[in-house]
Amino acid sequence: QQQVRQSPQSLTVWEGETAILNCSYEDSTFDYFPWYHQFPGESPALLIAIRPVSNKKEDGRFTIFFNKREKKFSLHIADSQPGDSATYFCGCSSFSKLVFGQGTSLSVVP
């Protein structure tokens, strides 16, 4: 299932920096784009999501930027904290079927 491509595979940032995680897709029928995060030993959980009618969605330090023409979207984590260290999965959904990218392992160094 290569419908959703995510990069980078791993990312290390210093505390306070902005982490940028990227996702691209191919299928134009996708109509909902969530990001899930997964902490070690836990299950994935919804972090933030966007519909293609918008090109930006903010929730505190977390922002999704969406480019429908290029079929790309990204998650920006501002003022990264060590507690943000986790694996992040971008998702794309159509007709209720949600597929995920391969994940980005984020480490935030104090």
Note whether 55 binds another protein by CB under 8 A: no
Name the minimum Å distance from CB 22 to another protein: 14
Q: Which of 40, 70, 97, 110 binds another protein (CB under 8 A)?
A: 97
Contact 21, 75 (CB under 8 A): yes
Residue 72 neighbours by CB under 8 Å, 6+ apart: 22, 23, 24, 25, 66
The span from the CA of 85 to the CA of 78, in Å, is: 13
Q: Which of 7, 74, 94, 107 binds another protein (CB under 8 A)?
A: 94
Name the minimum Å distance from CB 103 to another protein: 4
The span from the CA of 29 to the CA of 95, in Å, is: 8
Summarize as ranges the residues that interact with another protein (CB under 8 A).
1, 6, 31-32, 34, 36, 43-46, 49, 51, 89, 93-103
